Amino acid sequence: MKSVLLTSRPGQHGLWPEVSELDVPSPGPGDLVVRMSACGLCGTDLEKMRGEYTASLPVVGHEAVGTVSAVGRGVKGFAEGDRVFPHHHVPDYTCYLCRAGNETMCDHYRGSNLDPGGFSEYFRVPAWNVSRGGVLKLPRGMPFEVASLIEPLGCCVRSVRKCRPASRDTVLVAGAGPVGTMHALLLSRAGADVIISDVSDERLRAAERLKAGKVVGARSDVAGEVKAVTGGRGADLAIVASGSRGAILQGLRSVRKGGRVCLFGVPPSGSVLDYDISELYNAEREIITSYGATEEDTKRALKVLAARGREFGALVTHRFPLSRFGEAVEAASGGKAMKVVVTP
Ligand SMILES: [Zn+2]
Ligand SMILES: [Zn+2]
């Protein structure tokens, strides 16, 4: 079977994706093997290739969906032929951090993963994930391409939950990529006034077409624009759906006194912010961070997609088979594509 693995090149920084031939995995006790039908390419997959990603081990492909092709001994509730979304990271739900509501900080969360990764014709879902509710069955009629948005949308659902938005809030979403636009779509439906910024005109036009909110070029005076539409006050909330320092600063400068800034994008390791902390204190601004999703969030995302599949499905602009993975990476890196989905 074809599978994308990351390899290093001597003397060069970063990791290169290579389409390799591997044996189809067989399920151990409690495992499932899934035949992949679609797997979204995430910004964090690109960061892993650039050697910038700081949050977990460099396995690529975690937005995968497909059909169960083999069932391990002792698995209950799943059969060959089931159409599923398997969550790649699943916490234990029992430790101190899990019980405190910080499930994605659980020591086990990043340790569980799809094997050898989601960009693979077949992959194994470990018993750990299967037995802890990490595998969801897809509703009849939900296209695999739409279902591949469950994982990224689940992360957005969690971040919105942590940000406690009130309806009528003015929200700046910094970054009009797929996850920024997902936030914008969730928040505008919840009654917020959304302003969305990006450096890419293509992405802003796409966000506009999707009616995600009012768009503004990230190179203009974003904080000024936000203040202009809020009577000089600033936004109640800023979601930073980008790991760039510029976007984080834009978020901090655009929120009102007592406002909240959510860091959603993964900053490259070593990112240092040139920001006067006294401003943070004196304006009582709150910084929230959100990493990953729990099963509660992926289930909620599945429900949102069951109801609004066409709307969110429009985020997918490019599709490539595994054999053309390099082109998928190019399209996703260029800033012109919204969501890129890889198929077998
Ligand atoms: Zn992702
Ligand atoms: Zn835990």
CATH no. for residue 175?
3.40.50.720
- pLDDT value at 281 more than 90: yes
Residue 40 lies in a domain: yes
CA of 93 to the centre of ligand 2 (A): 5
Reported as a single tens digit per residue, the pLDDT across 64-84 is 999 999 999 999 999 999 999
CA of 235 to the centre of ligand 1 (A): 27
Reported as a single tens digit per residue, the pLDDT across 9-29 is 777 777 888 899 999 999 999
Confidence of residue 130 (pLDDT cuts 50, 70, 90): very high
Tell me the residue type at 49. Answer: M
Q: Please name which ligand lies nearest the alpha carbon of 340.
A: 1
Tell me which residue of 230, 150, 153, 154 sits closest to 192, measured CA to CA. Answer: 230
CA distance 322 to 329: 11
CA distance 227 to 191: 19
Q: How many CB atoms lie within 10 A of CB 344?
A: 17
How many domains are contained in the chain? 2
Tell me which residue of 57, 75, 41 sits closest to 6, measured CA to CA. Answer: 57
Q: Please name which ligand lies nearest the alpha carbon of 46.
A: 1
CA distance 38 to 7: 23
The label of the residue with tokens 């990230």 reads: 218
In the chain, count H helices and then E strands.
12, 15
Backbone angles phi, psi at 257, to 5 degrees: -60, 135
| Domain CATH code at residue 59 | 3.90.180.10
Q: Tokens at residue 172, please?
A: 């700046």
- Note whether 204 and 212 are within 8 A (CB): no
- pLDDT value at 276 more than 90: yes
Residue 111 gets the label, from left (phi > 0), alpha (psi -120 to 50) or beta, of: alpha
Q: Please name which ligand lies nearest the alpha carbon of 179.
A: 1
- Note whether 122 and 69 are within 8 A (CB): yes
Domain that holds residue 40: 2-149+315-343
- pLDDT value at 241 more than 90: yes
Backbone angles phi, psi at 83, to 5 degrees: -90, 125
Residues 129 and 171 in one domain: no
Residue 296 lies in a domain: no
What's the whole-model pTM score?
Answer: 0.95
CA of 99 to the centre of ligand 2 (A): 7
pLDDT at residue 57 in the model: 58
Residue 9 lies in a domain: yes
CA of 95 to the centre of ligand 2 (A): 4
> Mean pLDDT for the chain?
94
Residues 15 and 144 in one domain: yes
